[in-house]
Homo-oligomer: A and B are copies of this chain.
């Protein structure tokens, strides 16, 4: 059974409106925003990634979901598997301490279980936030403009370099291992955005999800995307960047004429239109859609 098939089965069990059809970054129950993401060794992180960075990432990817709904974090609960490696566990704790401090979020509880030594680690975290204006993924309308925060593609290059042994001080490796959730940006944009989500699997695949949820089409101007300087120049570098995962930037739609309020580093990259699916341009010319739009964990 694929993840998609299982999630289809779950969806039938989650008719409550707060679940948002299990198709959003988080559940939204009144002013509560709730998310639970897992990261698995060998799938979402490398066995060779420093344990402190794994802790950071576990917290950051969940806070990124809160950011995507404009929510302010109020606490988290962690589910941790002890797999019989004391040095790993100690380094994980040190990284978790750093991340909790950096993002100013209290650890409220969770569970620790022992698993047989050698079992791939599967770590889970629930983040709880509050926010009154949580935009859905599916609220974009034809005529809206499409924006993204930060820089795209650095983490994808960092992943490739980390798999090759990589230098821990390489900014791309850091972008891959220590993503920074865009909490301030999400909170500022949420009251205005018609749709918002985080970019975790790749800009194109995630933009496609926003389009599908909204029942609209999306055109992305690849030459407008803020591609990492570490990428090759031109169309090839842009295509590599927009199909790589782990950016944890925010992708959002704004009504015509509205610009992002007081946040640094948001870039207009496209527009919402009638129809469905994605269209790409580069220097105003159409570009065929790549076969692979992003990174599909476990697919």
Contact = CB atoms under 8 A, between A and B. Distances in A.
A3 interface: yes
Contact of A112 (B7, B96, B116): B7
A97 B13 contact: yes
A82 B10 CA distance: 13
A6 B97 contact: no
A42 B1 contact: no
**Stoichiometry (number of copies):** 2
Contact of A6 (B16, B36, B43, B89): B89
Given A13-B100, A34-B108, A297 B6 contact: no
A107 B6 contact: no
Contacts of A66: none
Contact of A90 (B9, B42, B97, B124): B9
A120 B116 CA distance: 8
16 contacts: A1-B89, A1-B90, A3-B112, A10-B93, A10-B96, A12-B97, A16-B106, A19-B106, A26-B109, A27-B108, A34-B128, A36-B110, A36-B111, A38-B111, A38-B124, A43-B114
Interface of A: 1-3, 6-7, 9-10, 12-16, 18-20, 22, 26-27, 29, 32, 34-40, 42-44, 74-75, 77-82, 86, 89-90, 93, 96-97, 100, 106-116, 119-120, 122, 124, 126, 128, 297-298
